[in-house]
Amino acid sequence: MYNYLIIFIVLFLLVINVIFRVKIIKKYNALKNKNIFIDPKMFINNQELESYVSKHYPKHKVEIMQYKTLLNKMIFFTIGGFMLIVIIFLLLKYL
């Protein structure tokens, strides 16, 4: 019975991951077509990214911040999903 729960959760997380990847790839291609290239390290520091974007790409600030938000959401769901699966496995093992 619990196996179906785990299969459902894994499939659900897989579908969410694919949806986020498609959105991220579309947004990345749109930014690439506009010749907007940002160092990936800047996505870690929000203030640094905002100041760089305001200085170099003020017209595309909203798109770049949406791209950053999508990346953060995908990372959050990936970590959260992994932790959820581990917790379920541990509960099943010790209960």
Spans of all domains in the chain = 2-94
Are the C-beta atoms of 9 and 85 separated by less than 8 Å? yes
- The total number of residues shown for the chain amounts to 95
In whole angstroms, give the CA distance from residue 20 to residue 54: 26
**CA-to-CA distance for 95 and 92, rounded, in angstroms?**
5
Computed on alpha carbons and rounded to an integer, the radius of gyration of the chain in Å comes to 18
Q: What average pLDDT does this structure show over 43-67?
A: 92
pLDDT band (50, 70, 90) for residue 15? very high
pLDDT of 62-94, one tens digit each? 999 999 999 999 999 889 989 988 998 888 888
Stated pTM of the model: 0.82
Q: What is the spatial distance between Cα 95 and Cα 32, in angstroms, rounded to a whole number?
A: 51
Question: Which pLDDT score, from 0 to 100, does residue 6 have?
Answer: 81
d(CA 67, CA 60): 11
Query: Residue 1: its pLDDT value, please?
Result: 64
pLDDT at residue 56 tops 70: yes
